[in-house]
């Protein structure tokens, strides 16, 4: 089983087979429009502009599970991101990434990766926030917050998981190493 076995929903509800992305390097991201990490959209769009021609696709899955920071409909979220951050990469329907309503794609991503801690400037703050919500957060692989990223190889295998506090420079470096 790999990423290509899953189907997801576009913003308009139509189904998309991830097998349509076979041969591409994918960065799968759960996002939110009202989060402290939302400015990462700038870095994501820049990466996309520079490397789409090399086979990079960024797949954006808005999620309202963390602090209710992705309110609004799929179209409202997309309009905000397109106007504010000028995103041009695919943005899918709002999803759950944890819990009983998590979409199968995210169930697979969580089951096949480990949380390796928060890094970077915001790491300490995120650890403090999560410690109060989930005392066992360090020992489970659930998605911890918005802008968790998964790097997927051209053959559909998970290469890396990046927590939202990982520097976008480090994310870029890893992506460029596999392109």
Summarised one tens digit per residue, pLDDT across range 55-67 is 999 999 999 999 8
Active site residue 81: no
Rounded distance between C-alpha atoms, residue 70 and residue 94, angstroms: 8
Distance in angstroms between the alpha carbons of the first and the last residue of the chain: 22
- The H-or-E segment that residue 20 falls in is none
Q: What is the pLDDT of residues 98-119, one digit of tens each?
A: 999 999 999 999 999 999 889 8
In this prediction, residues 38-66 reach a mean pLDDT of 97
Longest dimension (CA), the chain: 43
Fold of 3-178: Glutaredoxin (3.40.30)
3, 26, 35, 77: the active-site residue:
35
């Amino acid at each position: 089983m790999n990423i290509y076995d899953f189907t997801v929903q576009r913003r308009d509800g139509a189904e998309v087979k991830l097998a349509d992305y076979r041969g591409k390097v994918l960065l799968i991201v759960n996002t939110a429009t009202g989060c402290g990490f939302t400015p990462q959209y700038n870095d994501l769009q820049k990466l996309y502009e520079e490397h789409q021609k090399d086979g990079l696709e960024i797949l954006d899955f808005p999620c309202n599970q963390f602090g209710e920071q992705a309110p609004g409909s799929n179209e409202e979220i997309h309009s905000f991101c397109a106007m504010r951050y000028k995103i041009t990469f695919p943005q899918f329907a709002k999803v759950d990434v944890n819990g009983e309503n998590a979409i199968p794609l995210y169930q697979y991503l969580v089951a096949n990766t480990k949380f390796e801690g928060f890094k970077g400037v915001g790491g300490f703050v995120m650890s403090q926030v999560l410690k109060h919500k989930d005392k066992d957060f360090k020992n489970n692989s659930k998605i911890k917050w918005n802008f968790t990223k998964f790097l997927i190889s051209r053959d559909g295998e998970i290469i890396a998981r990046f927590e939202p506090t990982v520097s976008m420079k480090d994310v870029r470096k890893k992506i460029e190493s596999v392109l």
